[in-house]
Amino acid sequence: MSLSYEFSVGSVRAKEKSLLTSADVEQLLACKSERELGALLRDKGYGDGESVDEILSSHTDSTWEYIRTVAPDFEIFAPFFIGNDIHNLKVVLKGTMSARKYDHLLLEPGTIGKETLVKAVESRSFSALPEWLAKTADKAYELLSQKGDARESDALIDAAAMKRMLEISGEYKSEFLQEYFRTLVFYNNIKIAIRSANTRVTAEFLDEALCEVPDFRKKTVVNAVLKGNLLDELSKFSEYDCKKAVEEFKKSPSDFEKFVDNKLILMAKESCKRASEGAQPLLGYYLACEAEKKVIHIIVSGLRTGAPSEKIRERLREIYG
């Protein structure tokens, strides 16, 4: 029997009741150790495992298992899988070059099978990869093997991925999905530009590393990076709330990262929680789970480094629930 979005929306609305609330986050923040945090997450039924990392991995697996059972069109999540694909490619490339084990670092799900990816890299036969990635992967391999240039290699892969995310999200009749990935790519571009402004880069590198996206003035950004007045130029951008993002960056890079993460999840909260039909509620649920994991990662990272609770709280992102 084929699934319908009517069934999917009803299921998701019930499932949303299990998402973390602000009160839950306060309980997690009150934990004094990683072990206590893990115990609390298990008690809440968040996932299985001895460590917080295992619990989060278990939660990710169960999230995808649930989505597969209720999504009428699972392929609508393909733009999100691209992130796993490029992560895996980078891991396999660097693991192969350094002769280090990397299997435990590979992520799922993806649009490219792990075995296909490993075989392509080890044999340097990238024709088996999708067309959008094959030539880029070959060039990235050459940069790593001949020049040891991980930065440029990663930049090429990231640019190909951003372009592919925009292409796939544009194939669906979901204004939210298209807006989400346009915003994501816009800010990925901004992050690349900011990092590049602190290093010696060429116009050619920036042209390859930055992805075309609506309302992103690529030429202006490239020139600003090279002239050393990037933040001044970005402050003139009203698109995607860029001016506000720059103000946050001037406070600190972590405030900027928090602003971008919050903007994306609030977009989902605004569009997907109100939707009563179509794929948006299910997309929102997935993004809600990702936002929760980020919050838990921040808390456990703070516990591991002994950061004061007020500092951990400052870094926390918005949640969906």
pLDDT tens column, 8-62 = 999 999 999 999 999 999 999 999 999 999 999 999 999 999 999 999 999 999 9
Q: Record the tokens describing residue 119, joined without a space.
A: 């075989």
Q: Record the tokens describing residue 271, joined without a space.
A: 């569009």
Q: Would 85 be classed as within a structural domain?
A: yes
pLDDT tens column, 272-294 = 998 888 999 999 999 999 999 99
pLDDT band at 319 (very low <50, low <70, confident <90, very high): very high
Q: Would 146 be classed as within a structural domain?
A: yes
Q: Would 103 be classed as within a structural domain?
A: yes
CATH code assigned at 133: 1.20.1690.10
Q: Would 93 be classed as within a structural domain?
A: yes
Residue 2, pLDDT score:
66
* Average of per-residue pLDDT values in the chain: 94
Could you tell me the residue range of the domain that residue 117 belongs to?
A: 78-172
Listed as own residue / partner, the contacts of 280-284 with beta carbons closer than 8 Å and 24 or more positions apart are 280/174, 280/176, 281/8, 281/9, 281/12, 281/13, 282/8, 282/9, 282/12, 282/67, 282/70, 282/71, 283/76, 283/77, 283/174, 283/176, 283/177, 283/180, 284/12, 284/320
Average the pLDDT over 203-217 and give the result. 95
Residue 5, pLDDT score:
82
Nearest to 190 by CA among 140, 242, 236: 242
Say which range, 143-152, 209-218, 312-321, has the weakest mean pLDDT.
143-152
Q: Would 216 be classed as within a structural domain?
A: no
pLDDT tens column, 81-109 = 999 999 999 999 999 988 899 988 999 88
Count of domains for the chain: 1
Residue 317, pLDDT score:
96
The pTM of the whole model exceeds 0.85: yes
pLDDT band at 159 (very low <50, low <70, confident <90, very high): very high
Whether the pLDDT of residue 1 is over 70: the answer is: no
pLDDT band at 3 (very low <50, low <70, confident <90, very high): confident
Q: Would 258 be classed as within a structural domain?
A: no
Q: Are 268 and 285 in contact (CB under 8 A)?
A: no
Whether the pLDDT of residue 241 is over 70: the answer is: yes
